[in-house]
Each structure stands twice: as C-alpha cells, then as structure tokens.
A and B are shown apart, each in its own frame.
Chain A
Amino acid sequence: MAWRQAKWPEPIIYELGAPGRIGFLVPEIEEEIKKYVGEIKLPDKIKRSSPPELPELSEVEVLRHFVNLTQMTYGVDNGPVPLGSCTMKYNPKIAMEAAFDPRVTMLHPLQDERTVQGLLEMMYLLERWLANIVGMDACTLHPAAGAHGELAGVLIIRKYHELKGQIDKKKEIIIPDSAHGTNPASSSMAGFKVIEVKSDERGNVDIEALKAAVSEATAGLMITNPSTLGMFEENIVEIAKIIHEVDGLLYYDGANLNGIMGYTRPGDMGFDIAHINIHKTFSSPHGGGGPGAGPVCVKDRIVDPDKGIKLSDLLPGPRVVYDEKEKKYKLKWPGPYSVGMLKAFFGNVIPLVWGFTYIMAMGPQGLKEATEQAVINTNYFKKLMEGVKGYTLYYGPERWRKHEIVYSAKPLADETGVNAEDVAKGLLDAGFYAPTIYFPLIVPEALMIEFTDTETKENIERYAERLKEIARIAYENPEEPKKWPKNTAVGRIDAVKANHPRHVTPTWRVYRLRKEGKLGLLK
C-alpha cells in the first residue's frame, strides 16, 4: 500500500467559528474588586479604539482545527527525516517529560536563586559536560539557537581584538565556501568583512587559497568539521596554525559535532571557540524551526595577562556558577569584558533540560556510539548507492563520509530534466522527508542526506531503493516526476506566485484587505 499523508480541507482559522463563541472562559472580575477600585478610565488617546479582529471559536473547534493541522505535518515521530546538516534524530520522550515538568516551566527567570537550585545545578553540570564533550574550558548556555551562538562567537572574536587594541586592523573573517549561510551572516552582524575560501577536490579547504586569504586583517576563521560535505577536514591542524600565526581565533560551527564525538573534539583540533546545537546533537526537537539552544564554549586563552582577562570572561550570559562558601548555585551576570546579553534572560531551558536528560541517558559511551552509528549509517548508504545511475558524488568520492553525504543529481538533471527538487518530491511521496537540497552551494543539484544515529537499517535500504526507483522513472518517463508530490497534504507549491508583489500574502489581514480592494500596491 502506498504511503499517504492526511489531506483535510482545513479552513484558515478566520473562516471558522461564529460570532460570540469563546474558546476560553476568562474569570469575571470580583464584585468586591470592582466596587473597591471603581471604574478604571484609561486615557482616550491610549485606549484601544476597535477590538482586535481575532477569530471566535469554541474550545473544541480550536482543538480540532490544530489537531487536523498536526496531521498534515511530518516529523521525526512520523518517519525518517534525513535532512543533511539538520541532524533530525529521535527526540526521546523521557527528556520531554523532564523538560515540560512544571518545576521547569513555572520558574520565573528572576526568581530568588535559592528557589531554583535544582535547575541551576542541572545547568551547571550541563556546562561542564558540554565543555568536556568539545574539549574546551568554559561554556555559556545563554544563546537561543545555533546562529545566536555564532553571533556570540564572532562577538567574542571582536571583543578579543578590541581588548588587545588591534580591532582597527582585524577586519576580516575567513569562511570556507561550503559553510552554512549563518556563518557569513553572523560575521556581518558582528561588523566583519567575509572572505570566502574555496574547497579542493578532496573536499578540504584549499590550503593555498587559505594562505593567500590570510593576512594581518584576519580576525578569525569559522568552519564546521566534519564539513557540510560530510567529510573530516584533514588539514585542520595546519589551518589552526595558519590562523593562530596572525593572532586570529578559530571558531567551530558545532552543527556537525555528531560526526566526531569520542574521536576528536574542537579543542583537540585547535579551536578557540565552539557552539553546540542542543537541538541537533543532543536530541531536543526542532519544533518546526525552533526553539533551539546554542551554547558556546571557549578555551581558557589569555586575552590580557596584565588584567588577567581570559577568553571565558568574554562569554555572554548570565551563566551558572557554584559558590563554594555558601554551597549554592548562582547566576553570574555578564562582567565588564563580556560581550553582554544576547537575549533577555538565562537561556532556552526547555531544550537545555532536554539535552541534559539525553546526555545523562547516553553517557560518554553512548555518545560515542551515537557518532559511530551515524557514520556507519552514512557509509552503509553510500555503499548501497554505488553505481546507481543518475546520482554522483563530487569531492573525494572515495573518502569515508561522516554524519552526512552529499549526492549530486546533476547527471539525472542533465540527462532527463528531472532535478534535485523533483527527486525530493519523489521521496516525499514514498513517506520519507526529503534531503536538504541545493546546499552546500558548491555541489550542483545537491541532495544532502543525513540519517543520524537513530534511523534503522531497513529504512536506509528503503530510502536507497526509492532513489533508484526515482531515477528509473526519470529515465523512462521524465514528465512523471514533475507531477510529484501526489501523496502529501498538497501538491507542488507555486513559489513564484507566493513571492510576487501583487500576490504576496504574509497575513490574513493582507488577504482580506486585498479582496476588499483596500490594499495599496506594494512599493
């Protein structure tokens, strides 16, 4: 039987309900309060002039509406999501139970520290565990996501050079061409110029190109290892040396940490700063795009020996510290050398408690095993794909892959017109989430596939079979894949229309005003 996703004709919430219905009973204001306070008259100029146009639904209608929407959504709980670089592993339910416990969710961030000792202790331990996992000396759990951690990291690089009085010449961050888009974007946000270096044919950073790019202006380098091509950067030690020689700092993008745990650590490779995606390597769920958590760890590198400033003094926060004298965990708010705060309070504790629980259940042996499983899964899949017509590997095809592998559907596209997007839709129709497509940018028609450690051998085999079948159909009947997907909640989306200034509809308000002829042209 073919796979089918639910396909409900579910209206937009504004098309549901009826005037006067309520989904939540707001308590009446106590009569005594009313009498005591008297009438509250807000100044006219600040009083709401017309009620917000919110829908009016009963509780059961709201519930059914959103349940129907969940059924037209596919997550790891439904089946494999082998999205390269996104590390969509299983999100253990015991960790969810811990993270959503009221003794976490009902804690106010400014609550007296003596009343949150349990949570602070967990967070203190998590900082230490993460520091050990990445081979660094200190961590902050403050950043809310990977890119937020990157911003923290490049701000630390900026602060480092500022404290050393050399920020006027340290203006550039070097980034490989295979990097995540967040790396250059984070560098820009920290006021740096981005210098891109290319990859060589083995998938490593081209050392000659790197040497040519490095100068006294180099503030640092951002790199992920294993790379987005899924391969270990073989020259990492030399790269670290080249960057350190000009007093640049090395930043480790932790998106692919799940490919190396137990074998090497960013700290062992010469990195100074690393971020960690709790919502990748440490199993908290992605929630359709977030929340995540992006802790940042640093080596205890000396910044200013006279003032005794170390790199850890630059970390954003608050962070958790243990007061030996008082035998108490405390929040340490950012000091004078810190890059400051990047969000209003501590950190995203729901994902953090999730990650804490996951690490507890895995222990060092389990984490290393997870890495091995991820790498076995990738290379097993690579073996199954050998000689399959239509797909090819660029960059060191003979090399082992780590956590992920990037196939190119360029032969298929050239020979049949069926491209990476069509292949992706063909996978959806078989009940698999598609790979990350058209990324990394250096692989044409890229299919970036990552099974993670939690996918079964059988599913990997089925997935490879489906890729073969897609290629077979493409060669036999190249028109067919253009009609995919057919088994999902909706068919292929019109993205051009979605983005056209005359059609672009970011809210129901825009839809409604346009229909009523009350919306001006977008200019």
Chain B
Amino acid sequence: MVKHPWLPNSPDEIKKKMLETIGVKDVSELFSDIPEEARIKVDWNKLEIGFGRPLSEIEVKRKIEEYLDKNKIFKNPPPFLGGGAWPHYVPAVVRYIITRGEFMTTYTPYQPEIAYGLMQALFEYQSMIAELLDMEVVNASMYDWASAAAEAFLMSFRVNRGKEKVIVPSTMNPFHEKVINSYLWPHGYKIEKVKHDPETGLMDLEDLKNKLSDKKAAAVYIENPSFLGFIEENAKDIGEIAHDAGALYIIGVDPMSLGVLESPGKLGADIAVGEGQPLGLGLNFGGPYLGIFATKWNMKFIRQMPGRIMGLTTTKTGDQRAFAMILQTREQHIRREKATSNICTNEALCAVAAAVYMALLGKEGFKKIGELILYRSHYAAKKLNEITGVKAPRFKSEFFKEFVVDFNEAGVDYKTIHEELLKRGIHGGLYLKPYYPELGESALYCVTEVHTKQDIDFLVESIKEILGR
C-alpha cells in the first residue's frame, strides 16, 4: 500500500470504492490470470530497485545532486572536443520552448486536429532543413547521424535492387562506421573503403572509379566536413562519378557548416543525412541527438524513405490550413514487415529544438556563425602550428571547425598532454591513435562559436608550457 503524489487513486478510500465497483475484494484478484508457474518467485520489495522504498521529492533532489556533483562540466574554456558531437551554444529560447509541457508531454500526432501546433513545428523543421540542404523532402527525424546514414544505405539497396555493396571514405567517422556495420551485416551487404590522399585527406578519385567499375555499388557516401575535419572539396566530382556508375550519392553533413559550405542538393546528393545536435540540442553525453534525413523530389526515392513525414494540407472543408502525417504506407504501423524501416519513436522534440534554433539564426545567422567558426578554428590551428614540434592542421586541405593536431614531433605523448591540460581545467581534443593508428600521437581538436580568443590563447599557452616551449 503506497500513497503517492503521482498516483491519484492510491489513497485507500478511493481504491476501495473502485475495487467495490469492479466487484473484487482485493486488487490481487485482478492478476488471478497469471499462472502460478509464471509468477515472480523472489520478494519484489527486497530487490535492488531504486533505494528500497519510495523517496520524497526532497530526498530525490538531494540524491540527484550528489550524483551530478561528481560530473565535471568544462565551461571555461568549453571542451575542445568534437568527433561527431560538438560543443555549440544553446539559445535560451530553444530550451524554453522545448521544455513547455504541451510540446514535451504530447504524443506522436495520431490525432492531428488536437496536435496542430506540434505538427506545424515539425513541418517547419522539415522546411528549414530542406533549405539548408537544398533538398525537397525531409523526414521528421531519425535517431542520429549514424543511424540516419545506416538507413540511407538500406534505402539505397531498395532503390538500387540487386546491388551488393556501398562505398565509403577511409576517413569516415569510426562510430558511424560501426553503426552502419550493425545495420548492413544481417543482409550480407559489403562496405568498401576508398583510399584517401595521405597529404590532403581527400578521396582518391581513381580508387573510387576502380571500386565502382564492377557496377555493384548501391551508393557512394561521403562526410562533409569529414571526421578528421577537412572539407571534401571534390564532393561534386564524386557525385558525378557515383552517378555514372549507377550508384546513389549520399552526403552526410554537419548543418552548422551549411552557411558557408555548398549544400548537398547542389553537390548532387540523392540522399542527405546529418547530425542535428549542433542545432540547439546540447551535448547530452551522446543523446538524444537528431538524425537528419532528406531526399530529392523523386517518387522512387520518397517511396523508399524511412521515418515519419509531416505534410501541409487543409481541413476536409477546405477552408483551413492543416497538417497530416503523410505517406504512411511506408511505415511499420501500416506496412509491418514490408515497411521501409522499423522506426517509430524518433527524436521529434529535438527536431522542434532545431526548428527554433534555425528560426532564431535565420538566413544571416547561419552565414555569420559559419564564418565565426571558420576564423576561430583557423586561428587556433595557426597558433598551435607555431609551437615547435606541433603541426596543425595535419592535412593540407581546407577545414571547418575540426582539425587534426599532430604531436608526433612534440617529444611528449598525447596522454601526458591530455593529463596536463586536464589539470589546467582544459579538455583537449580526441586522441586519434585508437581509431587511426597511422596518425600516431595526434588529436582531433574542435573550435566553435563557444570558444573565444582567450580560450584559444589559454589552450595554446598551456600546450606550450606542457611541451616546455
């Protein structure tokens, strides 16, 4: 017997009345259809579930504080850490809107008339992403970039029936690669990696042509900017080569770069995917994030697209604008085993956050924030490069917000540098050796709009000090 503020009918007097109406003496009678052999054999109340008893809000708050205090946030300076999740500023308005109860506690809009506002917000998310990407059709979200890319590959096999493999860059995000493996493995599809130029990092176009010559590829994929930070400047040529070989072209993007970098649509992508985390979501220790998924105005593609889509329509009377979930015959709740994906719950609220974010930044904001990031990251790289024994960026190509810092000639291993930086309250970049052994003592550094000149100078001075320069 537990009287609890979240259980309005838990007081004895109410429960008793309800049980009387039902016609049972004890609540356990309502569970009489659970056969003896299927019942729990241990004492439920003694199991380690929570802290053994219900806790009051005051007690809960105290405990939560104890745990959270053991986490260290890097604020001053923010972490110089990226690798698929990046420190970006979350505007106050974004957090305010998504924590409003109406949006936060509503369900998938199965009843569109009473969820008009949410559907409009998701439609606006789709619409603004469409403009950033220059693609016509966008879904209401996937889990993250990695799973969106994996589903894009599965889609390419449905569009391009009979193909056996996909082609990816050898510089792709190693976490994305693992996810794609998990999704493609059951079907026996192969993943082939195209070589990159060791100096520039750019995809080796001759090797790409070779790998496409057997005409067995369903899709060619690139990430732009790449995991290692550089910009794949031959993106358009890669698309043409892919199309010539009958493969679809999939581009994965960081949306923050699209104020300054060419859009996937204009680069010839058939499918665009990406990570919406920078668009007002926060770091969240890896999730929830936001998988961006878009395709072109082509029925063959749209029919094979995964995920929910909001569509603009009217009421039956035709006199009012309204929204509906469209093209649902692709989805699991209708199509079951023949659905284009099993995705049901997605990242809708993250998509709303992104919508608010994009509306705040607007046309001008995306360009300005892109330029700010470019200049600050270049400042950081150039400053670091001046330190004897440090090379940044490691690759000769142009880069956006991340770049590889090569410490191989620094005389100190990266682990030591990382430790010393931590002592100074700085979280340095991602040590790359576990993912790219050939890069040795190198780390991937990330600089965004949250890193000021002072932050960067502090980092550079600290590294100088650590290296004894």
Q: Can you report 29 residue pairs joining A to B where beta carbons are below 8 Å apart? A: A13-B127, A23-B362, A47-B262, A53-B131, A76-B101, A76-B106, A77-B102, A98-B68, A105-B90, A110-B83, A111-B79, A111-B427, A112-B418, A117-B70, A144-B347, A146-B345, A151-B342, A190-B186, A237-B38, A288-B109, A289-B109, A289-B122, A290-B349, A291-B345, A346-B286, A360-B50, A498-B324, A506-B126, A507-B138
Asked if B117 contacts A54 (CB within 8 A), the reply is no
Q: Does A48 count as interface, using CB distance less than 8 angstroms?
A: yes
Closest residue on chain B to residue A77 by CB atoms? B101
B161-202 to A contact mask, C-beta < 8 Å, 1/0: 000000000000101101101110111000000000000000
Does A442 lie at the interface of the complex (its beta carbon under 8 Å from any beta carbon of B)? no
Q: How far is the CB of A186 from chain B (nearest CB, A)?
A: 4
Contact in complex: B60, A48 (CB < 8 Å):
no
Query: 4 smallest A-B Cβ distances: which pairs?
Result: A345-B286, A287-B349, A77-B101, A118-B70
Q: Do A144 and B147 touch (CB < 8 A)?
A: yes
Query: B343 on the interface (CB 8 Å rule)?
Result: yes
Please encode chain B, from 325 to 362, with 1 for each CB lying within 8 Å of some chain A CB and 0 for all others: 01110011111111101111111111010011011111
Nearest CB of A to B148, in Å: 10
Is there a chain B Cβ closer than 8 Å to A388's Cβ? no
Can you list, as one digit per residue, whether each of B19-39 has a CB less than 8 Å from chain A (1) or not (0)?
101110001011111110111
A46 within 8 A of B: yes
Tell me, yes or no, whether A155 is within 8 Å of chain B by CB: yes
**Whole-angstrom distance from the CB of B17 to the nearest CB of chain A?**
8
A26–B364 alpha-carbon span in the complex (Å): 9
Complex alpha-carbon distance, A264 and B38, angstroms: 7
Give Cα A125 to B130, complex, Å: 41
Pick out which of these stretches binds chain B: A64-72, A209-217, A244-252, A471-479. A64-72
For residue A165, CB closer than 8 A to chain B, the reply is no
Q: Are A36 and B379 in contact (CB under 8 A)?
A: yes
Please indicate the chain A residues that have their CB under 8 angstroms from the CB of B127 in the complex. 12-14, 507-509
A201 → chain B closest CB, angstroms = 15
Which residues of B from 301 to 343 have beta carbons under 8 Å from A? 302, 308-318, 320-324, 326-328, 331-339, 341-343
Smallest distance from the beta carbon of A326 to chain B beta carbons, Å?
15
Q: Does A185 contact B (CB under 8 A)?
A: yes
The answer to whether B362 and A109 touch across the interface, beta carbons within 8 angstroms, is no
Q: Which residues of A contact B286 (CB under 8 A)?
A: 109, 343-347, 349
- A288 engages B187 (CB within 8 Å): no
Minimum CB–CB distance for A479 against chain B, Å:
14
- 8 Å CB contacts to B: which residues of A58-99? 59, 62-63, 65-78, 81, 83, 86, 88-92, 94, 96-98
Which one of A112, A400, A495 contacts B313 once the chains associate, using CB atoms below 8 Å? A495
The answer to whether B375 and A292 have CB atoms under 8 Å apart is no
Q: Does B396 contact A (CB under 8 A)?
A: no
Encoded as 1 (CB less than 8 Å from any A CB) or 0, chain B from 86 to 101 comes to: 0100110101111111
Most buried by B among A83, A185, A351, A523: A185
Q: Which of A27-35, A297-305, A408-416 contacts B (4 or more CB under 8 A)?
A: A27-35
Task: Find out whether the CB atom of A362 lies under 8 angstroms from the CB atom of B54.
Answer: yes
Which of B7, B109, B262, B453 contacts A32 (CB under 8 A)? B453
Which of B23, B128, B132, B185 touches A383 (beta carbons < 8 Å)? Answer: B23
The answer to whether A507 touches B360, judged by C-beta atoms less than 8 angstroms apart, is no
Whether A289 pairs with B81 at a CB distance below 8 angstroms is no
Would you call B339 and A185 a contact (CB within 8 A)?
A: yes
Within the complex, the shortest CB–CB distance from B152 to chain A, in Å, comes to 14
What A residues does B231 contact at CB under 8 A?
A: 42-43, 46
Q: Give me 8 other A-B pairs in contact (C-beta within 8 A), A108-B87, A144-B143, A287-B105 excluded.
A: A52-B132, A72-B116, A76-B106, A350-B288, A383-B22, A453-B7, A490-B315, A491-B315
Q: Is B210 an interface residue (CB 8 A)?
A: no
Chain A residues contacting B60 (CB-CB under 8 Å) are 94, 98, 357, 360-361
Chain-A contact segment, one of B213-221, B242-250, B365-373, B387-395? B365-373
Q: Does B412 contact A (CB under 8 A)?
A: no
- Residue A397 is within 8 A (CB to CB) of chain B in the complex: no
What's the tally of chain B residues with a CB closer than 8 Å to chain A?
A: 220
Select B297's contact among A77, A135, A144, A510, beta carbons within 8 Å: A510
Distance, CA A506 to CA B332, complexed state (A): 19
Is B442 on the interface with A (CB-CB < 8 A)? no
- Which residues in A have their C-beta under 8 angstroms from that of B98? 287
Distance of A122 Cα from B67 Cα, bound (Å): 7
A158 close to B (CB within 8 Å): yes
Task: Kindly supply a per-residue 1/0 record for chain B positions 107-124, scoring 1 wherever the CB is within 8 Å of any chain A CB and 0 otherwise.
Answer: 111111111111011111
**One of B46, B74, B348 near A288 (C-beta < 8 A):** B348
Distance in angstroms between the alpha carbons of A65 and B100 in the assembled complex: 13
Given A106-B283, A286-B107, A287-B104, is A375 in contact with B30 using a C-beta cutoff of 8 Å?
yes
- Residues in A whose Cβ lies below 8 Å from that of B328: 499
CB <8 Å contact, B113 and A491: yes
- A10 at the B interface (CB under 8 A): yes
Are A279 and B345 in contact (CB-based, < 8 A)? yes
Contact A494 B121 (CB under 8 A): no
Rounded to whole angstroms, the CA-CA distance of A145 and B283 in the bound complex is 18
Contact with A along B269-313 (1 / 0, CB 8 A): 000000100000011111111000000011100100000111111
B342 and A185 contact, CB distance less than 8 A: yes
Give the interface centre of B33, B38, B176 by most chain A CB atoms within 10 Å: B38
Q: Assess whether A70 is in contact with B100, with CB atoms less than 8 Å apart.
A: yes
> A346-B286, A497-B313 are known contacts. Are A265 and B40 too (CB-CB below 8 A)?
yes
Pairwise interchain contact A291-B49, C-beta atoms closer than 8 A: no
- For the complex, is A380 an interface residue (Cβ under 8 Å from B)? yes
- Residues of B near A145 (CB, < 8 A) are 143, 343-346
Contact of A345 among B84, B106, B338, B376 (CB under 8 A): B84
Interface residues of A in 133-169 (CB under 8 A from B): 133, 135, 144-148, 150-151, 155, 158
Interface residues in B215-241 (C-beta closer than 8 Å to A): 231-236
Question: How many whole Å from B230's CB to the nearest CB in chain A?
Answer: 11
Are B266 and A292 in contact, CB atoms less than 8 angstroms apart?
Answer: no
With CB as the reference atom, state the residue of chain A lying closest to B106. A75
Q: Does A128 contact B (CB under 8 A)?
A: yes
B174 to chain A, nearest CB (A): 10
Q: Is A417 an interface residue (CB 8 A)?
A: no
Contact across chains for B18 and A351 when beta carbons are under 8 A apart = no
| Chain B residues in 8 Å Cβ range of A72 | 116-117, 120
Q: How far is the CB of A351 from chain B (nearest CB, A)?
A: 7
- Closest residue on chain B to residue A128 by CB atoms: B48
Complex: A437 Cα to B110 Cα, angstroms: 9
> A424–B114 Cα gap in the complex (Å)?
11
Contact of A13 among B104, B124, B288, B365 (CB under 8 A): B124
Interface 1/0 per residue, A456-476 and B, CB below 8 Å: 110000000000000000000
* Closest chain B CB from A458 CB (angstroms): 9
Partner of A344, one of B35, B179, B318: B179
Q: Are A400 and B30 in contact (CB under 8 A)?
A: yes
Task: Please report which residues of chain A, range 346-386, place their CB below 8 angstroms from some CB of chain B when the two chains form the complex.
Answer: 346-351, 357, 359-370, 372-373, 375-377, 379-380, 382-384
A27, A121, A485: the one contacting B70 at CB < 8 Å is A121
B54 and A341 contacting across the interface, CB-CB below 8 Å: no
Q: Which residue on A lies nearest to B81, using beta carbons?
A: A108
One of B107, B114, B367, B427 near A108 (C-beta < 8 A):
B427
Compute how far the CA of A263 lies from the CA of B79 in the bound complex, rounded to whole angstroms: 47
Q: Within the complex, which residue of B50, B56, B285, B427 is in contact with A349, where a contact is CB–CB below 8 Å?
A: B285
Taking a contact as CB atoms under 8 Å apart, the answer to whether B427 and A184 are in contact is no
Contact B107 A365 (CB under 8 A): no
Q: Tell whether, in the assembled complex, residue B101 and residue A52 are in contact, meaning their CB atoms are under 8 Å apart.
A: no
A118 neighbours in B (Cβ, 8 Å): 66-71
Are A191 and B349 closer than 8 Å at their CB atoms? no
**B85 interfacial by beta-carbon distance below 8 Å:** yes
B118 / chain A contacts, CB cutoff of 8 Å: 69, 73, 288
B 134-159 to A, binary, CB cutoff 8 A, 1 in contact else 0: 10111011011111000000100000
Task: Contact check, A51 vs B363: say whether CB atoms are below 8 A apart.
Answer: yes
Within 8 Å of chain B (Cβ to Cβ): is A520? yes
